[in-house]
Amino acid sequence: LSDRDTVSLLGCNSRLDTIQAVVGNWLIPNTEKIAAQRISNATYYDDQFSTIPQIRIPPRPAGFRIVYHLYIVFTEQRDSLLTYCLERGIEAKVHYPIPIYRQPALHHLGYRKGDFPISDFHAENIITFPCDQHLSQNEMEYVVETVKEFYAEAEN
């Protein structure tokens, strides 16, 4: 990566050092508890954000268990909402703002903006909110209330 969002050269990193092994030894027996908390957090967000017309929640296919490394929603006011959240101490982010087909490492394939409109839509409209297992209910409520405040202010 050239920076957090730009892939300049394709490759892989598959090393596991001692520290990672220690963490892994702790994580493995706790995986189910961690997954359950992340799913619970995402379910709360789904319930709350589904009441905001300007937010679109991605489909949740039946028969799949999603553990939520990231909690992603779509909004046309993504950049303004991101700024609003960051100013209020919420670690909202834009993950993957450059679609993979437009990364420098794949430039040689000759793709241009617009060749994959769904990827472009995602890159331009997604925002992620904190969702990990360490969040408290109060922190998630603050995220939701802040997002609701943003849209209420935008209407006025």
AA identity, residue 134:
H
| Residue-level pLDDT at 7 | 83
Structure tokens at 155: 């209407």
The fold for domain 18-155 equals Aspartate Aminotransferase, domain 1 (3.90.1150)
- How far is Cα of residue 83 from the mean position of the Cα atoms in its chain? 15
Confidence of residue 9 (pLDDT cuts 50, 70, 90): confident
Query: What DSSP string describes 15-53?
Result: ---HHHHHHHHHHHHHHHHHHHHHHHHHHHHHHHHTT-T
* Contact between 36 and 47 (Cβ < 8 Å): no
- Residue 146: C-alpha distances to residues 60, 83, 111, 116 (Å): 24, 12, 38, 33
pLDDT surpassing 90 at residue 115: yes
Average pLDDT for the chain = 93
| Residue-level pLDDT at 85 | 98
| Residue-level pLDDT at 63 | 94
Residue 71: phi and psi, rounded to 5, are -105, 110
pLDDT surpassing 90 at residue 13: no
Domain ranges of the chain: 18-155
User: What is residue 146's three-state secondary structure?
Assistant: helix
Q: Which helix (H) or strand (E) holds 75?
A: none
pLDDT in tens, 32-82: 999 999 999 999 999 999 999 999 999 999 999 999 989 999 999 999 999
Average pLDDT over residues 108-137: 96
Structure tokens at 50: 């589904």
Instruction: Say how far apart CA 123 and CA 133 lie, in whole Å.
Output: 26
| Residue-level pLDDT at 11 | 77
Confidence of residue 1 (pLDDT cuts 50, 70, 90): low
- Residue 120: C-alpha distances to residues 52, 73, 115, 125 (Å): 23, 15, 9, 9
